[in-house]
Structure 1
Amino acid sequence: MKTKKKYLKILTSARQWIEMLLKLRNLCNQLINFSTHQHQKPNRHQKFIQVSFLTILLICVVFGQVGFAQVPNVAALVEEGIKDYNTGNFFNAIKHWQEALNQSKNNPSSTAVVNEDLARAYQEVGENKAAIASLSAAIRDYGAVQNIQQVGRMQSELAQVYSNLGQPRKAIALLCGQLVEKSRISDNQPSQEIKCTPESAEQIATKYNDKRGKIAALGILGEAYRLIGSYDQAIKYLHAAQQVSPAYDFLVLNSLGNAYKSRAQLHELQANSAKQAGIFSKEKEFTNKSAADYNQAREYFQNSIKLARNRKQALAEMRGLLNLIQLGSSQTNETKVIDDETFNNAHDDALKLLKDLPDSATKVYGTIDLAYLQRHSQGTSPFTYCPTAMVLSDTEALNFLKSSVLTSNKLQDNRLQSYANGALGHFWECRKDSKQALKYTQAAIIAADKNLSAKDSLYLWEWQAGRILDEQEGKKEEAIASYQRAFDTLEDIRQDILTAERDVQFDFRDVVQPLYRTLARSRLDLLGVGAIADERRAKELSQVVNTIDALKLAELQNYFGNDCILSGLNPKQVGELLQDNSVAFKNTGFLSSIIFDNKTGILLQLPNQTTKFKWIEDSNQEGTNKIIHSDKLQKKIAEFRTGLIKGEVQVNYDTTTAAQLYDWIIRPFAEDIKPETVKTLVFIQDGFLRSVPMAALYDSQQQKYLIETYAVATTPSLRLTTPKVRDRSTQKALILGLTQQATIDGKSFDQLFSVPEEVDAVESIFPNHTDLIDDKFFPESFKQKLEKTTYPIVHIASHAQFGIIPEDTFIVTGKNQKLTISQLENSLGNLNSKLDSVELLALTACETAVGDDRSTLGLAGVALQVGVKSAIASLWSVNDQSTSELVKTFYTNYRDTGISIAEALQKAQIRMINAKNLPPSEGINIKYDNPVYWASMIAIGNWL
């Protein structure tokens, strides 16, 4: 009896403790990690620096588990886990809590708590997949016991993990339930009311008046929108978080600083794009917007630092200081946001604060940031080049990097250990100490590869190891193996890297592109050293083709900023496609280019034949070949293109440059592409070569243009092209045209006098047509027509501009409006089924930014982006009746199902070349033999 009373007394006491501790736990959980858990990919300046309510989080872990006292064995396991967690022994904590979980399987109120804390421990050791599983289980268990408020909090924590992994769209789905697409918002629109679904984290926090939970949801939501490039939305949500409660303003202010900085960088790009397009009023507007946003970012960072300092939040203060410093180091000569005194003071404050910081991720990454800090950085990642003017001396930087390794080892965090060792390895790489460099780089690789805990930095260290090995005698093949592993890893995570912060688009050129080119070049260089068996040579060239193809896919994905462009990607590699489609590809040759710093290569692929490769060379006076420097080639390309565009004023076109380029690019493969066996050449171009109208290259020996011998087409990648002959005997066409002068964003577009004749020509060939001309042609009318009727052919006779960013890619419509690439995609989006898809999109009055390879990338990718199979587009606009002449002949040929699309265009172009030899009854102007009138038109995508 005494035993029973004693037990009841203990149990009552335990319940009182549980009630009190659950209240404490609720308080703790209100302080869930907010947007300062900001994950920066390792190719950015700011690496994984995380500032959270760390101390409170630990208290939550301790108090959250005492409620297990009534189950002695489970309670003991939980207690051991708490002790391990508090001392930084996260793996032991996980072990104890997993065992506790196994013993509490039928008690969701218990398993919810354990899963919650397991998730935090998993995050500490970089096991994000396990963290996701634990948080998902916690959400399920809290839902089972009707603790809906806690469900919302766990959704916010889960959203943070997804955001950390570079999956912000998943984070947004959890936090708000719906994604506001960027195309639906703009700077000019008023702030929209936040509308989230009832089951989302934000709405749960609102329903339960959970202020700090709502701050967390809105803050992480703002960060997620920033990561997908929707900066206006990000700023809106962060300002909303600021209105909920001022208690954690220093966290919100820090995130706002990041959002305004990102938008400032976007405005800089827009200013550059406007400048290149000659829209100087827009250039000034965007320059002013950029400056205003940079200043706003500086103010937010400074205010965040001040508030965090006043509230003795050292980790948050350090985060703000590092953000302010990086803002100062990334500024250009045009945008000096922070003066030297402010920069130096922030740097000194960070150095002082660093000494007293507790061992943490913030301390490790902050130490590395300060070690590599430059007043004026040269790129977005200090690990892709050797910094030449670091603020700290070599000795100071080395000591900082060594201390970061020691701290990461204490914390037993694989991700931290990987980054710290990799950073130290890079230091020695830049000092040419290959032994030390390789030692620390390999340690970084091992840590990153452990449980795949840091896959998003693994490629950096594999790449780094490749560079180190490349500098050593006889290590070329080991270097290539490292480059290949880096490439394979990057291919796995490329989508997340390239679609995040896509408007700024520096990561790709600074990190992804150089790695792909380095791997391709290393393999090609290896082929030039010593005797290599034909089988090995074929394998190496196959790998080069795959690398180049991956590079071009990555460029498209980065340019458009989403993975829609890759939705139709064939999983097979190029070599397999050539083999599988040998019948469809019969009589077709594929020429792929790859541009390096000092030379350019061309690969030729033919179905069921080994790949051929040659560097672009020129014969000197001694009769020997000399590799042409890429700069010289680029200048010659620009000369060629300029000569073509200006050819309108010439009576007879000078073919000298066209002949020289033919000798460099085509003639080396003459024996492999004899006209008897090869009828069509498909070009898969790189960089500045995309702007070359290959049809106009001139064979001086045969005195023929290339197009007179071969049908010519282009595609960004064979893996994005579906080669298939389609029935073209009966077609319905939607014809859109603009004849009037138009003004878009302050830029004037000339009247297109020949468009009425072009429209008449297309209408005569396709009696079953609908036309929208001038004021009848605008974005909404275009969309409405497509919603009502399916048109296999969409012909647009209007100015089309392709800028260096997608926002500057648009078609000019009536009423001084523009149809953006996003609107075009949305309008055609409903027609992407096999039965209803648009077969051919024609754009006949394009303008591309000469000399910028990104604009011509937009031209080549636009058809794929909007989901059409084939496109006909011009590389420059010809305001002449010649366009209607060419279009009319092309469509007439196109209706002939016996020839391919490329051949239909070829025949139309040859007809113009022969203008002087045609009888007067043909009614064709004899000047149309000049390539200015026919060479700009190219076939893109499916050429069959």
Structure 2
Amino acid sequence: MMLKRHHLLGWLFLCSLIFNLVINQIFITDGSMELAAARSLVKTASVLSKVNTKNDIQPASGNLKENRGDVCIDQINSQSDNQGIGENFRRQSIGNKLSLVAENIRYTSNNLNSAIADIGDLQMIEIEKYYGRNCHFLANSQRTDLSLSKTNTAIFHSIILEERTAIIVSFPRDNQRLKLQWINVNSQAFREEVNQFRISLENYANITYNPQQAQKLYNWIIRPFINDLESLQIKTLVFIQDGILRSVPMAALHDGEKFLVEKYAIATTPSLNVTNLQTSRQKKARALAVGLTKDAIIDGRRFHALKNVRAEINQVKMQIPGSKQLLDEDFTRDRLQSELSQNFYPIIHIATHGQFGELPNDTFLVTGDNQKLTISELDRILRSIYNYYKYIDLLVLTACETAIGNDRAALGLAGVAVQAGVKTALASLWSINDASTVKLVTKFYEAWYHSGVSKAEALRIAQRSLIASDGVSSHPAYWAAFILVGNWL
């Protein structure tokens, strides 16, 4: 009986392989069949490479359904190889679809829409691979369309291929226009250019910032679409980034006169499919503000005292009445979990050293008792306490850092909102031990919590206030590190 079962499984796999080859031939020879063929390929590869698990997604109040990152099921490590196969498959499929755009204009819309969907799938495969778990999410295109029409938002999708990089932009309005632009630079050269941009941003030694590298990336990524952005009166840019692009802030791109954030509100998200875009604001929201002001030693590495954290925490309490603080010795893993289990805090503000590394266990926050709070542990704490009707609206991490050129670490930062099950994360790409962070945090909460603007617009207001200061803090090293991940509304 067991032998027959193995023969049956082998026969099914062979049939699936033959089916893929046949469909792939159609994909190459007949552009009109490309969309259906590619979808069949992706679906088949997904079935072969993933373990089926139940979609445990519940509806929220109203007509919209929640897209939440807390319906993740831990998977065995042996799945990582299959995920890698799926990742490579989708990347090749996306490249094929985008190549057809130039060859057959008739199917441009279908090809671009299909490529955008696959880019979203690819992002989630990479995050799943990083965190070692398989996550299932429910897409809701109606909610996305509604948000675009309300906020004059354009969505930038990127995909880095071996010989060139594609930028696809989704514009709002009735037909949701799409536009493709190629950056004709191979992946290695493109990576080096992006890393040079990041290095220039963190160069505190240069009092006068040289925007040359920021202009180069602006000309590649933004300038080809500037006429559309202006004619459609776009106010917000949302980036779904690939690879090394996750490690740099788009806010610091420069058009030769101004930084991008001086003209647009900016946010990033791993995928629209996992972004909860509900705009309802919880009444009388309060914050749990935790932080570390002292030196700490973790695994032999010294983390120097963050001298402005106490002032930062005080500002959070001042801006958001009813908030509570856990500072230094009071900030421990057990105390944090206990406080969150006893009281509901829609806003969690964490001002301590954070490191995003190659692996989830190397991605952690430093607590007041010289311990690591890994992002996986934070994820478990938050998901065990909150549910669909009590969710975290905002998670702030103001002293995190990712290594230059490490897109694996940047992937961890990009997925933090998804993994922790929060609507929005505001985090830093590099640590800034300076009073400018206090100013930025204060301006952000003033604009968002009190004035009621969107989170992306609130961050724009805060960053512009530093740019306009004409002091040391006008340098992008002091403000560009902060990125908004997830819901930008």
TM-score (norm 2): 0.89
Letter in structure 2 aligned against 1:645: E
Q: Is 1:612 aligned to 2:178, yes or no?
A: yes
Q: Pick the structure with more strand per residue.
A: 2
Report the Cα distance in structure 2 between the residues aligned to 1:559 and 1:666, rounded to whole angstroms: 29
Write the distance in 2 (CA, Å) between the matches of 1:708 and 1:676: 18
Which residue of 472, 483, 486 maps to 2:41? 486
Question: What is the identity, as a one-letter code, of the residue corresponding to 1:614?
Answer: L
Q: Is the 8 A contact 2:289 2:326 kept in 1?
A: yes
- Residue in 1 aligned with 2:130? 559
Contact residue 346 and residue 393 of structure 2 kept, 8 A: yes
Q: What's the secondary structure of 2:307's corresponding residue? A: coil
Q: Distance in 1 between matches of 2:11 and 2:281?
A: 60
Describe how 1:280-679 pairs up with structure 2 within 5 A. 413-417=7-11, 444-445=14-15, 448=16, 458=17, 474=29, 483-492=38-47, 495-496=50-51, 500-502=75-77, 505-509=80-84, 511-529=85-103, 531-533=104-106, 536-563=107-134, 565-566=135-136, 569-572=137-140, 574=141, 576-584=142-150, 586-607=151-172, 608-617=174-183, 627-646=184-203, 648-674=204-230, 677-679=233-235
- State the partner residue of 1:709: 263
Describe the shift of the 1:414–1:467 C-alpha distance in structure 2 as closer, same or farther (beyond 3 A): same
- Describe the shift of the 1:580–1:735 C-alpha distance in structure 2 as closer, same or farther (beyond 3 A): closer
Tell whether the 8 Å contact from 1:875 to 1:936 is kept in structure 2 after alignment: yes
Distance 1:826 1:417, change over 3 A: closer
The answer to whether 1:933 aligns with 2:478 is yes
1:517: Cα distance to partner?
1.1
Q: Secondary structure at the match of 1:704?
A: coil
CA distance in 1, matches of 2:360, 2:429: 17
Tell me by how many angstroms 1:751 deviates.
1.8
**CA RMSD after TM alignment:** 2.5
Larger Rg: 1
State the partner residue of 1:843.
397
1:562 shift after superposition: 2.4
Q: Which has the higher contact order (CA 8 A, sep 6+)?
A: 2
Q: Distance in 2 between matches of 1:673 and 1:610?
A: 13
Tell me, in whole angstroms, the C-alpha distance in 1 between the residues paired with 2:83 and 2:214.
33
Q: 2:215 and 2:244 mapped to 1: Cα distance? A: 18
Structure 1 equivalent of residue 460 of structure 2: 906
In structure 2, distance between residues paired with 1:418 and 1:718: 34
CA 1:905–1:579: 2 relative to 1, 3 Å: closer
Equivalent pair of 1:592/1:602 in contact (CA under 8 Å): yes
One-letter identity of the residue aligned with 2:383: G
Residues 507/750 of structure 1: CA separation in 2 closer, same or farther (3 Å cut): farther
Any residues of structure 2 matched to 1:123-272 within 5 Å, and which?
124-126=3-5
User: Separation in 1 of the partners of 2:117 and 2:301?
Assistant: 41
Q: Please tell me the residue identity of whatever aligns with 1:526.
A: L
**Pair 1:690-2:265 in alignment:** no
Q: Relative to 1, partners in 2 of residues 1:494 and 1:867: Cα closer, same or farther, differing over 3 Å?
A: farther
What does 1:850-861 correspond to in 2, within 5 Å? 850-861=404-415
Query: Equivalent residue for 1:228?
Result: none
Bigger shift: 793-802 or 825-834? Answer: 825-834
Rounded to whole Å, the distance in 1 between the matches of 2:108 and 2:26 is 22
* Stretches of structure 2 lacking an aligned partner (at least 5 in a row): 53-72
Aligned 8 A contact 2:50 2:79 in 1:
no
Instruction: Considering fraction of residues, name the structure with more helix.
Output: 1
By how many angstroms is 1:723 displaced?
A: 1.3
The answer to whether the Cα contact below 8 Å between 2:94 and 2:119 also exists between their aligned partners in 1 is yes
Counterparts of 1:656 and 1:636 in 2: how far apart (Å)?
A: 11
Given residue 43 of structure 2, which amino acid in structure 1 is its aligned partner? Answer: D
The letter of the residue matching 2:9 is R
Question: How far apart are 1:552 and its partner, in Å?
Answer: 1.1
User: Kindly tell me: are residues 853 and 628 of structure 1, through their superposed partners in 2, closer, same or farther at Cα, counting changes over 3 Å?
Assistant: same
Change (3 A) 1:691 1:462: farther
Q: 1:671 aligns to what SS in structure 2?
A: helix
The size of the alignment, in residue pairs, is 468
Local SS of the residue matching 2:450: coil
Is this contact kept in 1: 2:148–2:154, CA < 8 A?
no
1:684 and 1:812 mapped to 2: Cα distance? 29
User: Match of 1:663, as an amino acid?
Assistant: N
Distance 1:485 1:499, change over 3 A: farther
Distance in 1 (alpha carbons) for counterparts of 2:177 and 2:237: 15
Q: Structure 1: how far apart are the matches of 2:237 and 2:484?
A: 11
CA distance in 2, matches of 1:877, 1:932: 10
Amino acid at match of 1:616: W
Give 1:748 deviation, angstroms: 2.2
Q: Which residue of 2 aligns with 1:811?
A: 365
Deviation at 1:493, TM superposition (A): 5.4
Task: Provide the secondary structure at the position in 2 that maps to 1:899.
Answer: coil
Asked if 1:822 corresponds to 2:376, the answer is yes
Q: Distance in 2 between matches of 1:704 and 1:788?
A: 47
Does the Cα contact within 8 Å between 1:886 and 1:909 map onto a contact in 2?
yes
- TM-score normalised by structure 1 residue count: 0.47
Change (3 A) 1:475 1:842: same
Q: Structure 1 regions of 5+ residues with no counterpart?
A: 1-120, 127-360, 362-412, 420-443, 449-457, 618-626, 917-925
Mapped contact 2:303–2:353 kept (Cα < 8 A): yes
CA displacement 1:458-482 (0-9 Å, x = unmatched): 5xx5555667788x8x477778765
User: Per-residue CA shift, 1:556-596, capped at 9, x if unaligned?
Assistant: 22222224x43xx2334x5x554454544x30110010111
SS in 2 for 1:673: helix
Is the contact between residue 466 and residue 480 of structure 1 (CA under 8 Å) also seen in structure 2? no
Letter matched to residue 571 of structure 1: A
1:727 pairs with 2:297: no
Match of 2:64 in 1: none
Percent of matched pairs sharing the same residue:
36
Deviation at 1:503, TM superposition (A): 7.6
Q: Is the 8 A contact 1:502 1:559 kept in 2?
A: no
**How far 1:725 moved relative to its partner?**
2.2
CA distance in 2 between counterparts of 1:745 and 1:466 reads 52
Answer with 901-910 or 734-743: which moved more: 734-743
Amino acid at match of 1:559: Y
**Alpha-carbon distance in 1 for matches of 2:384, 2:377:** 12
- Cα pair 1:727 1:897 within 8 Å, conserved: no
Give the conservation status (yes or no) of the 8 Å contact 1:614–1:668. no
Helix, strand or coil at the partner of 2:392? coil
Given the alignment, which residue of 464, 469, 488 partners 1:915?
469
Cα deviations by residue, 1:239-288 (Å, 9 ceiling, x for unpaired): xxxxxxxxxxxxxxxxxxxxxxxxxxxxxxxxxxxxxxxxxxxxxxxxxx
Q: Deviations 1:406-433 (Å, cap 9, x if unpaired)?
A: xxxxxxx2333466xxxxxxxxxxxxxx
The alignment partner of 2:96 has SS state of: helix
Instruction: Give CA-to-partner distance per residue, 1:90-120, whole Å, 9 cap, x none.
Output: xxxxxxxxxxxxxxxxxxxxxxxxxxxxxxx
Q: 1:658 to 1:675 in 2, by over 3 A?
A: farther
Question: Would you say the 8 A contact 1:752–1:798 is kept in 2?
Answer: yes
Q: CA–CA distance in 1 between the matches of 2:437 and 2:348?
A: 16
